[in-house]
Amino acid sequence: MLRDLSVAVFLVWATLGSRATGQPCLCSALAPSGLRVNCSSLNLVELPRGLPSDATELHAQDNRLTSVPPGLFDGLVGLKKVSLSGNPFHCDCGIQYLRSWLLRNRDVVSAEPTCAGPSAVARRAVADLGDDYFSSCGGCAGGAYDAAVAGMLCCLIGLLLWSVRLAKMSTVTLCIHERHSGIEAERLRSRRPKHRRRSAGSEVGGESVTCARDVEKTLGDMELLPQVLDTLHKKHCGKIKAI
């Protein structure tokens, strides 16, 4: 019942398509099981889509086929016999699908189709075309992917160049406040709680000496500030400003 329904649907589809492609294909049951789709010698310029999925034989020889639409045979997993000879196949980039399918299903092809053009490959079997012949063909998906990758690379390079230019034009500001310059050593003495201070006067005096040395070191570092700024300016080629 399901097979009869699929055959009826296909016949309707083939009949509608026959206005532009010629007469409709004929379907017939095979014993003990199977389905023959006969589209041979119908002056077809393209095979009708929606071929019955349970077809076991497809006869499409002696037509005017120049190519096969991509994916047309993918659903016909039960094919045991296919005939496509006698068609003027044009072997350009559009023949890649048929060539790939023939390489995977050579055992079911009764007579291998040949190229009618271009002249460089005329009368050559479609399945015998090498990969190098299609090296200049980059399918739509592959072309879109390559374009996307190229666009991303261009954007990345642009961002890097912009970052380098921004780094060269940037200004480095050193916020240095001379808050502790000139502070007396006595004011930098430790302010620990009285109950934790040591009572020995010598220790307190030692602490004062230490604080005085720290202040002298700080003042010495401040004197080196102009040299530090000059070195940063020469090394990083930037604008440095001290506040």
pLDDT tens profile 20-71: 455 789 999 988 889 999 999 999 999 988 899 999 999 999 999 999 999 9
> Does some domain include residue 153?
no
Per-residue pLDDT tens digits for 209-240: 555 566 556 555 566 667 777 776 676 655 55
Give the tens place of pLDDT for each residue, 181-194: 554 445 545 555 55
Query: How many domains does one find in the chain?
Result: 2
Is the model's pLDDT at 166 over the cut of 90? no
Residue 151 lies in a domain: no
**Span 143-168, average pLDDT:** 79
Instruction: Give whichever of 111-125, 129-143, 173-187, 202-216 has the largest mean pLDDT.
Output: 111-125
Bigger pLDDT: 87 or 187?
A: 87
pTM of the model: 0.51
DSSP character string of the chain = -HHHHHHHHHHHHHHHHHHHH-SPPEEEE-SSS-EEEE-TTS--SSPPS---TT--EEE--SS------TTTTTT-TT--EEE-TT--EE-SGGGHHHHHHHHH-GGGEEE--BEEESGGGTT-BGGG--GGGGTT---HHHHHHHHHHHHHHHHHHHHHHHHHHHHHH-EEEE----SSTT--GGGGS----GGGS---HHHHHHHHHHHHHHHHHHHHHHHTHHHHHHHHHHHH--EEEE-
Domain final position from 137, 162, 180:
137
> Residue 85 maps to which CATH number?
3.80.10.10
CA angle 44, 116, 50 (to 5 degrees): 30
Is residue 55 situated within a structural domain?
yes
For residue 25, the number of C-alpha atoms closer than 13 Å in the C-beta half-sphere is: 32
Residues 11 and 99 in one domain: yes
Tokens representing 141 are 């998906």
Statement to judge: residues 216 and 111 lie in one domain: no
User: Are residues 133 and 174 located together in one domain of the fold?
Assistant: no
- Convert the pLDDT of each residue in 148-159 to its tens digit: 677 888 888 988
For residue 204, give its domain range: 170-242
Is 176 inside any structural domain? Answer: yes
- Percent of all residues in the chain with a pLDDT value above 90, rounded to a whole number: 41
146 within a domain of the structure (yes/no): no
